[in-house]
Chains A and B, each alone.
Chain A
Amino acid sequence: MSYEKVWADNQKLNKNEISKLKKDGLTIFDDIPHYAKAGFESIPKDQYMYFKYAGLTVQKPQDKGLFMLRVKVPTGILSDEQAVTLAKIGHDYGRDVLDITTRQSIQFHWVPLEKLTEIFDRLKKVDLTTSEAEGDAPRNVVGNPLAGIDPNELFDTRPVVEEIYRFFQDNPDFSNLPRKYKISVNANIFNAGQAEINDLAFTPATKVIDGQKRLGFNVKVGGGLAAKPYLADALNVFVVPDQVIKVAEAVTTIYRDFGYRKSRARARLKYLVADWGISKFEEKVLELTGPLPAAGHDEISGWNGGFFFGAHPQKQKGLNYIGISVPVGRIHSDDFLRIAELARTYGNGELRTVSSQNLIIPNIPDQVLDELLTDNIFKKFPIHPAHFTGYAMACTGDEFCNKALTNTKDRMEEIAARLDREVDLDVPVRIYMVGCTNSCGQRQIADIGIQGLKLRAENNQLVDAYELFVGGTLIGGGHFNERLKGRIRASVISDVLKEFLIYFKNEKEKGETFFEFKNRLGTEKLQVVLDAILENFDN
């Protein structure tokens, strides 16, 4: 460790901070083999927090010795051997299920404690890691899943992501941050890196310097969803690719040394940026980096929501990528393995994970593209999914999450399937479901967000119910969706959504998106529409 923990003498540190001063999170990897031998009961409860640094969460019910395990996939790029390893881990240790997360990682459930070291060994052999996939440390670096092959990218961001990932990964200088810390690096002009919801985001920009047009990044800081969402603010700096690491180190150092450690609820970077104001934050960054040019021309020209369905030409002539729909991000290990095999047979073996919880197979030559698409796997995981199923997302929900009040993944799949059968639209509508007030399913930026709660029924029992939020986006710097009044029981949620979307279908203009429609009509009007619909149901 080559830095001084300037907060160490602070009298008002929270309990986790005091523990982290005594023992660094990354040391959990030394402890796990001992716990694995001695059994789950041997783990003191106050050590559970350290498991996060190994990408592990004790799974509910908490006494069974099972874990959720998350593997980082920087910018979503998996080699053939990495993809195959993940499929086999799912098969051998995770009851055949893989979840693709909204940060392009892969999650497994039901992983037994005694198998963890075997899994770590397998991952290490293919240069994958669970380390710092959770915990108060730099999380998976997200970015453009098409990096290097994207006709809509300013330049290839793979070297920058690699540099950032290697710099921060298991770096003891940055393994004790106040809270989780999310970095995005993207040069796709449709904001594939979802910059505004990250702590630190590099976005595509250009600037004329010394008469020469330079390609690089503008920078945003302090974004994040969670229960108190905040959209990232822009620093007035322009960064060329080989200076990115300097800026990332500066921002992260400021967060490490000045981020709040008294209350975990106030520990994310967004609180520091809000308190200091963006100008003071920028001054501090420049103190560490030295002078940087003012922000360049913002090259973002829209937002694709992180969706890449269909077969499309790459920037490399004669090669294509296909975007595959994985409903709510959940896939059986055999199916994942099959897709990995197809990637090897028809492409170069690479597979890519997308923040919309889907997959991409890149590098398919023109002459074999049609043949590839005849494979039966694409009946189950289509490249042109039905609108609702393809554009639905869901968080983990009450199956595994202790905070969840309702089911999410199964319910979202059911609702989307019904809407696909019964509502035919000319545009997709992004519906994201979460099981509580948090935001693991990015509810706040959905066209229609569905948030779970429990409603008291006539028999005094609590039943699953949902609230709707309308009009979220990251277009134009972002806007969070707005809550409509009315709690909707699980038993009628798909009926209500169907009626709501039929109203959208009947009243919308041709090609009008749900976000445009909501802005044209206003939230109040949509409230009136929902009220009228709810009157017709026994809700």
Chain B
Amino acid sequence: MKLFRFIVSTEEGELPVIAAAESEEAALQVVDQEIQHNLLIQPKIRDVVLIEKKGIKKSGAGYLIQPRKSYE
């Protein structure tokens, strides 16, 4: 199992989405599900990008979600 960090760009701005899945493709489906489930009004999505991935160890894994700095 891996942890994937996505950025979903919409007309209103960027949404960070984290997905745990076996593969990049499965993670992408998780992203879609989370957006559909969590947002009452579906945003106009410009693009969806995977920008980071890491293995999930026994001790866990995570990402700190914060706006990207200009050099990140």
Contact = CB atoms under 8 A, between A and B. Distances in A.
Interface of A: 15, 227-229, 402-403, 405, 436-437, 444, 453-456, 460-462, 465, 469, 480-483, 487, 523
B37 interface: no
Interface in B13-72: 24-25, 28, 47-55, 57, 59, 68, 70-72
Contact of A437 (B52, B59, B70): B52
B54 A227 contact: no
Interface of B: 24-25, 28, 47-55, 57, 59, 68, 70-72
Contact of A487 (B24, B49, B52): B49
A405 B68 contact: no
Q: Top 6 closest A-B pairs, CB basis? A: A480-B71, A454-B50, A456-B48, A482-B70, A453-B51, A453-B49
A69 B57 CA distance: 24
Contacts of B24: 454, 462
Contacts of B25: 461-462
Given A403-B54, A456-B28, A460-B28, A481 B71 contact: yes
B71 A15 contact: no
Contacts of B48: 455-456
Given A455-B48, A469-B71, A15 B59 contact: yes
Contacts of A523: 70
A214 B47 CA distance: 59
Contacts of A227: 72
Given A15-B59, A454-B24, A229 B50 contact: no
Among A227, A405, A523, find the residue whose CB has the most chain B CB atoms closer than 10 A: A405
Contacts of B50: 405, 453-455, 462
Contacts of B71: 229, 444, 469, 480-483
Nearest to B27: A462
Nearest to B52: A437
Contacts of A437: 51-52, 72
A483 B70 contact: yes
Contacts of B57: 15
A403 B47 CA distance: 22
A454 B27 CA distance: 12
Nearest to A437: B52
Nearest to A404: B53
12 contacts: A15-B59, A228-B72, A403-B52, A403-B54, A405-B50, A436-B53, A455-B47, A455-B48, A456-B48, A462-B50, A482-B70, A523-B70
Contacts of A436: 52-53
Contacts of A453: 49-51
Contacts of A456: 28, 47-49
A461 B70 CA distance: 28
Contacts of B72: 227-228, 437, 483
A311 B47 CA distance: 48
A454 B70 contact: no
B68 A487 contact: no
Given A402-B55, A462-B24, A462-B25, A487 B47 contact: yes
A469 B71 CA distance: 7
B39 to A, nearest CB: 17
A367 to B, nearest CB: 49
B55 A462 contact: no
B19 to A, nearest CB: 12
A483 B14 CA distance: 15
Nearest to B50: A454
Given A455-B47, A455-B48, A483 B68 contact: yes
Nearest to A444: B71
Contacts of B68: 483
Given A402-B55, A469-B71, A482-B70, 19 more contacts: A15-B59, A227-B72, A228-B72, A229-B71, A405-B50, A405-B52, A405-B53, A436-B52, A437-B72, A453-B49, A454-B49, A456-B28, A456-B48, A480-B70, A480-B71, A482-B71, A483-B68, A487-B49, A523-B70
A251 B43 CA distance: 52
B41 to A, nearest CB: 21
Contacts of A481: 71
A454 B24 CA distance: 9
A15 B51 CA distance: 26
Among A15, A461, A462, A482, find the residue whose CB has the most chain B CB atoms closer than 10 A: A462
Nearest to A46: B58
A405 B49 CA distance: 11
Contacts of A469: 71
Nearest to A486: B47
A407 to B, nearest CB: 15
A272 to B, nearest CB: 19
B56 to A, nearest CB: 13
Nearest to A479: B71
